[in-house]
Chain A
């Protein structure tokens, strides 16, 4: 061996040794999860806290942002000693940086996370957000929040299970759902009444197609899972979908109505009921098409159409009942954010009071005033001019009456949304069958569950 080669080898060896030493010496990651809030005294007395500033980071823009702003104003008027310093960030921007922000000593005290393992689960397990059980008792949140909604924010303290255990986030007094929107004028022109069952929807779609209309405004290029999850809620029972998402291995994906929903959707695609060339239509274009009048129906997340005041009443909302039991309504629905209190927050009592305020009757009424669907309180007044909103509120009420809220299906594993999106695209192209889609979903959840156990 030449002398320079030997030196190079020595340097390379030293680097390798250093890397190994670094790997072995310490394990990345901070404190292991432990609930740090064991016997701390909590207080609901905000005025006693003195002059405090609470930092809040959330991902709500436009109307939702205005809702937040007016609630902050209301809270500050109620407690003049409190200043809320709000930062609004783009949804994905906030979610991808929240773990770093909450580690920062100067970070937010309150933040909106996303439910499920990827966001809230990671933060709770990492000990970055507070266990809220003590505040739940102090404020009586356990009786205010319906069980199906509370489950969405719960983890057992060994972080093996989602959907039971301690409360790590609170909802807010409004809800985001998946349901069926229809174009009021187009339906009227076709001489049809708003469908009240899946069978009626199918016959309406057949008529719309025959009349040269696009039955369903849709695009699958960068997502478009709302239609599948909306259909799933018509087939699967609330219990089966809830249990599946929360990791009950006794339930498999085909028990949750996913197979029926996939088959139904494939038939719709084959019938030509979806926007022509939908494979190449992205989400924003699909929404714009529907609002612009191309398409009679659209499965969509509420609040995503971005309707202006004069577009209200041009679109109606339907929460279809279950196929097997038309007296029961199941719907994908959750508060549009999981409000967490940072473990590093120095004024958790004040922060908890603000979370309580975000769930108050006033917050629900403010939601309605800004055109959003109320949750937790039914004693709110929906203005007559807001036709779309009143149909949405009726849909949410129907789901509430059946105790039929189910979480977003993609909470079942961190990679589920990617898997479903890719599988749907393959199914439309005939590269996979509905059965294979369901198998892929099960495999994805299995991997996710194995990763958490190990």
Chain B
């Protein structure tokens, strides 16, 4: 990952290629630069270490124990981790997260790209208003969003009223209580929330693409579709990377939506790792298991972020 440390190292390898006569001087300069840099970075690093790294290490430690959070813990090795393979509920929660990634990440990004492409092709007055409207869900508190959709999806909610009104009364159901539909219904809430964010991100990205590229594409006879794939999409690579990272990690962490609406039900059909983590940590004191879930989620998030950065920042 790029960072100040790497820059120092890269600089060092450049200096190393200079002639032997300059080496000693260069090395002392290099050392001083490193210490000055470290001195500047020390206070934030210490704070970061205290509030992030130390608890992280503690979680890793806890994850090897069977611990109720109060009394003496017992070492259980990797037992908390093997739960991901043996516990059907935990295993299925990973599958649910994959479904949620489609709704929280892939769908909003596809829709965001589409709308960004359409909006940039034909700039209309009042576009700012549309952007603002679509961005609105992003500024609402997630609990408010969840409560709102809980009503919309309920037996007497507006979704069923609408279906009745257009003659599709046969489809009505309590959406969040249906074993088949509860997870997609939750996912669509996520789509609704993140779509506006993706769109605004992509529109601001397209404004950075030089108009000349579009003109050149048009001169070359490219249609709307061709133009999108040849100019807009490559130009938005960085933004897509950001959107992917943020939305996928959001999907992995899904807790509030599920907790407020279904608590993982019906059955365990909307259970996510984050809900299981909360239950293990705070309701059924099993801190080791909670820590193991947390560690796995953190590692998966990190790997995804690294992979996305690698792919989207490559030239």
**CB pair B284 A118 closer than 8 Å:** yes
Q: Complex Cα distance A418/B57, Å?
A: 30
Closest Cβ–Cβ distance, residue B294 to chain A (whole Å):
14
Given A4-B9, A221-B265, A418-B279, A28:B285 Cβ within 8 A? no
**CB pair B176 A122 closer than 8 Å:** no
**CB pair A122 B69 closer than 8 Å:** yes
Contacts of A122 in B (CB 8 A): 68-71, 285
**CB pair B71 A221 closer than 8 Å:** no
Given A280-B174, A280-B175, A29:B268 Cβ within 8 A? no
**CB pair A126 B60 closer than 8 Å:** no
**CB pair A27 B6 closer than 8 Å:** no
Q: Complex Cα distance A426/B267, Å?
A: 5
Is B192 an interface residue when CB atoms closer than 8 A count as contact? no
Contacts of B64 in A (CB 8 A): 23
Q: Complex Cα distance A123/B70, Å?
A: 7
Q: Quick one: closest B residue to A280, CB to CB?
A: B174
**CB pair B178 A279 closer than 8 Å:** yes
Which of B70, B176, B178 meets A29, CB within 8 Å? B70
Is A222 an interface residue when CB atoms closer than 8 A count as contact? yes
Is A44 an interface residue when CB atoms closer than 8 A count as contact? no
- Chain A contacts with B in 234-259, Cβ cutoff 8 A: none
**CB pair B268 A422 closer than 8 Å:** yes
Contacts of A126 in B (CB 8 A): 68, 70-71
Contacts of A425 in B (CB 8 A): 177, 265-267
Greatest chain B CB density within 10 A among A3, A221, A280, A414 is at A280
Q: Complex Cα distance A220/B154, Å?
A: 13
Contacts of A19 in B (CB 8 A): 57, 60-61
**CB pair B285 A118 closer than 8 Å:** yes
Q: Complex Cα distance A425/B269, Å?
A: 10
Which of A18, A31, A99, A222 meets B265, CB within 8 Å? A222
**CB pair A429 B71 closer than 8 Å:** no
Q: Mark A382-424, 1 if CB is under 8 A from B, else 0.
A: 0000000000000000000000000000000011001001110
Is B72 an interface residue when CB atoms closer than 8 A count as contact? yes
Contacts of A422 in B (CB 8 A): 264-268
**CB pair B70 A279 closer than 8 Å:** no
**CB pair B268 A118 closer than 8 Å:** no
| Residues of B within 8 A of A (CB-CB), count | 46
Contacts of B178 in A (CB 8 A): 279-280
Closest Cβ–Cβ distance, residue A48 to chain B (whole Å):
33
Q: Mark B133-162, 1 if CB is under 8 A from A, else 0.
A: 000000000000000001001110000000
Q: Mark B57-77, 1 if CB is under 8 A from A, else 0.
A: 110111011111111111100
- Chain A contacts with B in 19-42, Cβ cutoff 8 A: 19, 22-23, 27-33
**CB pair B13 A28 closer than 8 Å:** no
Is B48 an interface residue when CB atoms closer than 8 A count as contact? no
Given A28-B67, A29-B70, A414-B285, A421:B265 Cβ within 8 A? yes
Q: Quick one: closest A residue to B287, CB to CB?
A: A28
Closest Cβ–Cβ distance, residue B71 to chain A (whole Å):
4
Contacts of A118 in B (CB 8 A): 283-285
Which of A23, A125, A454 meets B71, CB within 8 Å? A125
**CB pair B74 A454 closer than 8 Å:** yes
Is A451 an interface residue when CB atoms closer than 8 A count as contact? yes
Contacts of A451 in B (CB 8 A): 66, 286
Q: Quick one: closest B residue to A428, CB to CB?
A: B266
**CB pair A28 B62 closer than 8 Å:** yes
Is A271 an interface residue when CB atoms closer than 8 A count as contact? no
Is A316 an interface residue when CB atoms closer than 8 A count as contact? no
Contacts of A4 in B (CB 8 A): 6, 9-10, 13
Contacts of B153 in A (CB 8 A): 280
- Chain B contacts with A in 31-83, Cβ cutoff 8 A: 57-58, 60-62, 64-75
Is B179 an interface residue when CB atoms closer than 8 A count as contact? yes
**CB pair A429 B66 closer than 8 Å:** no
Q: Mark A112-128, 1 if CB is under 8 A from B, else 0.
A: 00000010001101111
Which of B61, B155, B284 meets A280, CB within 8 Å? B155
**Sample (18) of A-B pairs whose CB atoms are under 8 Å apart:** A3-B9, A4-B9, A19-B57, A19-B60, A30-B71, A33-B71, A118-B283, A221-B176, A277-B174, A279-B174, A280-B154, A280-B174, A281-B154, A281-B174, A282-B150, A429-B179, A429-B267, A454-B74
Task: Name A's B-contacting residues (CB within 8 A).
Answer: 3-4, 7, 18-19, 22-23, 27-33, 96, 99, 118, 122-123, 125-128, 159, 220-222, 276-277, 279-282, 414-415, 418, 421-423, 425-426, 429, 431, 451, 454
Leading 10 A-B pairs by shortest Cβ distance = A280-B174, A126-B70, A414-B284, A279-B177, A280-B177, A277-B155, A425-B266, A126-B71, A32-B72, A96-B282
Known: A28-B62, A30-B72, A431-B179. 6 other contacts (CB 8 A): A29-B70, A122-B285, A126-B71, A220-B266, A221-B265, A414-B285
